[in-house]
Amino acid sequence: MLSFTLKRIAQLIPVFIGATLLVYFLVFATPGDPIAALSGGKPMTPATEAALRAQYNLDQPFWIQYGLYLKNLVTFDLGMSFSGQPVADLLGRAFPVTARLAILALLIEGVFGIIFGVIAGMRKGKFFDSTILVASLIVIAVPTFVLGFVLQFVIGVKLEWAKPTVSGAATWSELILPAMVLGLVSLAYVIRLTRTSVIENKSADYVRTATAKGLSRNRVVRVHVLRNSLIPVVTFLGADLGSLMGGAIVTEGIFNVPGVGNLLYRAILKGETPTVVAVVGVLVIVFVLANLIVDMLYALLDPRIRYA
Amino acid sequence: MPENQNFNSEAGLPVNRRAGKVSKYKMEHYVAPLDETPLQAVDSVKETGKPLSMWAEAWRSLRKQPLFIISAILILAVIIVAAFPQWFTSQDPTYCALENSNEPGREGHIMGFNLQGCDIYSRVIYGTRASLLVGIFTTLIVIIVGGTIGALAGFYGGWIDTILARLGDIFFALPLILGAIIVMQLPAFRENKSVWTVIITLAIFGWPQLARITRGAVIEARNADFVKASRSLGLSKFKSLVKHVLPNSLAPIIVVATVNLGVYIVAEATLSFLGVGLPPEIMSWGNDIASAQTQLRNNPMMLMWPALFLSVTVLSFIMLGDAVRDALDPKARKGA
């Protein structure tokens, strides 16, 4: 188990370097002189300009810039944003907000997705099943930002059940509505995945044995059907954590959540390389770690799987 | 034959299931009585006809599926609208009069007007083309690039597989929308914003998924007996890949590509909504929804109509993918 974990963490390194290099290169190639943008279009003395360029290493060729960036990264120095704030501070403020948002979304997805999926799967072809199937298809087909606007308008503005936008503090309760929007599409996938998996497993031999030896239906469903149906669902949820944090760009924009997505979106438009690369790097790490955790959960769910 | 029926029926109740098990055991020794298939029936089978291929059989079961018929009709309708928008409206979508700003629907303008006083219905009709082009061409490029890379990686294995898997990992770790925003900021893309830049951007981040699926399908088909047979009969490695492996791994690729076509249409709308997708002068559902967001309180219909058209289109591609999957998967067909 330990060597497996270490091997997987070692695999993280090339993915991390590759992804940051790719993003660094893309942002490097983006036009617009960040220094000119910094001065707000006002003329600058050549000396000031040269000093600023040297400060952000903008006078160096691409490979040196990226090398210097990696070198600083090892000492946990993420560089400075063009407005003079350390990127680590910006990230430190935005990351917990998005993490809260993504965890809430993941909870909504996991809990409701699995419950609805199991009920639909156990009653295949019945009314509840058909309704859930149609509803999940519709949710998948409607773009997230349309869902976001409609829910914000109906729940936030018309019904006033929740605040339509999030304050700077971004507390858990404020984030429930954005998390619902963020998790809704994946919720539909989780329901469909659980349903398929349950249908496959409910006619398995061990389920019949469990029923035959007189276990209650509740126990058969919970312990025998559900546990065996969870592997594809857990895989999906793990991979989804990464995309939820990346997909938060749209949701955070709609609900004005001061999270990573907002930070990233503004940094991309400004061409602020250190911020963009740092945020993407963190997202990549979250993505790979989430997948690692999923691989370890496999062994818990299915004792037949062992990691040597 | 009662046992025979039990064997075919899907096990529902425990009693049935037990009976099914018993008859399954008997089936191994089961010899059909002579009178079961009348001789005329045997004679009437055309022997000259080719046996049905997997595709012909899938088509036969598809034709009977209401889900397939509905989605196929909807998709056909969307394609016709995209190709000939002038057949469906006599209005000029670019003719906008501010006196009509946010007016509700009236005779000849059933969906009303947007903030600029343009006819919403004709804009939705003319906006179909951009969205559909993005969906279709992104899917085509992703199939060609991702399919080729995935097939080579799966079939040849070794170092090609390792490199492609790592490359795929890197792209996989970047979410589609996030990567697309960054690429759309590149000078070559930002200065030539068009349908094509959006297509290429989405394809850059869309191919790893299809490459993975192709790779898995090709590995499965590579080890099949008929491929080994073709190799031992002297067919070159590449020829057996093209002639035998690829045709037999097409099913999952087609299913995923169909569903993803809808996903790309949504992605285009999302990019346009974020202001980095199609330029505003191109009429598209995404652009119209984006410009409607500020008017949501005054004129919700301005958002609802393009969103409805977009969702129905995406929904029909997802349903088509579902129907095709059911038809191509014999296991699912038997269970139905």
Residue burial A241-268, b: 16+ Cβ < 10 Å; e: rest: bbbbbbbbbbbbbbbebbbbbbbbbebb
pTM over 0.80: no
Pairwise CB contact (< 8 Å): B273 & A250: yes
Closest approach of B18 to chain A, Cα-based (Å) = 10
Distances (CA, A) of A131 to A91, A117, A196, A298: 42, 12, 15, 31
CA distance B249 to B220: 8
CA distance B305 to B313: 12
For B207-239, the pLDDT digits (tens) are 888 888 888 888 888 888 888 888 888 888 888
Closest approach of A43 to chain B, Cα-based (Å) = 24
Give the number of other Cβ atoms within 10 Å of residue B241's Cβ.
21
Give the number of other Cβ atoms within 10 Å of residue A60's Cβ.
14
For B271-281, the pLDDT digits (tens) are 888 888 888 78
Residues of A with Cβ-Cβ distance to B274 under 8 angstroms: 249-250, 253, 265
Given this model, what pLDDT does residue A305 score?
67
Given this model, what pLDDT does residue A273 score?
73
Given this model, what pLDDT does residue B333 score?
44
* Spatial contact of B324 and B266, defined as CB atoms under 8 Å apart: no
Pairwise CB contact (< 8 Å): B182 & A268: yes
Per the prediction, chain B carries an average pLDDT of 78
For A168-182, the pLDDT digits (tens) are 777 787 888 889 888
Tokens of A130: 């058909």
Percent of residues, chain B, with pLDDT higher than 70: 79
Given this model, what pLDDT does residue B134 score?
92
For B83-119, the pLDDT digits (tens) are 888 887 777 777 777 776 667 767 666 777 777 777 7
Tell me the mean pLDDT in the region B144-151: 90
Identify which of B11, B17, B186 has the shortest CB distance to residue A26.
B186
- The confidence band for B34, taking pLDDT boundaries of 50, 70 and 90, is low
* B137: pLDDT strictly greater than 90: yes
Nearest chain A Cα to B173, which residue?
Answer: A284
Q: Is B167 at the interface with chain A, CB within 8 A?
A: yes
Place of tokens 């929804």: B289
Given this model, what pLDDT does residue A257 score?
86
Give the number of other Cβ atoms within 10 Å of residue A11's Cβ.
14
Of residues A74 and B327, the one with the higher pLDDT is: B327
Given this model, what pLDDT does residue A114 score?
92
Q: Please, which residues bridge with residue B96 across strands? A: B118
Closest approach of A264 to chain B, Cα-based (Å) = 9
- The confidence band for B42, taking pLDDT boundaries of 50, 70 and 90, is low
CA distance B90 to A151: 35
- The confidence band for B46, taking pLDDT boundaries of 50, 70 and 90, is low
Percentages of chain B per state (helix, strand, coil), in multiples of 5: 75, 0, 25
Tokens of A180: 């619902």
Residues of A with Cβ-Cβ distance to B166 under 8 angstroms: 14-15, 18
Tokens of B211: 């490459």
* Spatial contact of B278 and B272, defined as CB atoms under 8 Å apart: yes
Identify which of A143, A271, A288 has the shortest CB distance to residue B270.
A143
Residues of B with Cβ-Cβ distance to A265 under 8 angstroms: 181, 274
Distances (CA, A) of A249 to A143, A154, A268, B186: 14, 21, 12, 19
Percent of residues, chain B, with pLDDT higher than 90: 9
Q: Is B307 at the interface with chain A, CB within 8 A?
A: yes
Of residues B243 and B26, the one with the higher pLDDT is: B243
Closest approach of A235 to chain B, Cα-based (Å) = 15
* A45: pLDDT strictly greater than 80: no
Pairwise CB contact (< 8 Å): A140 & B314: yes
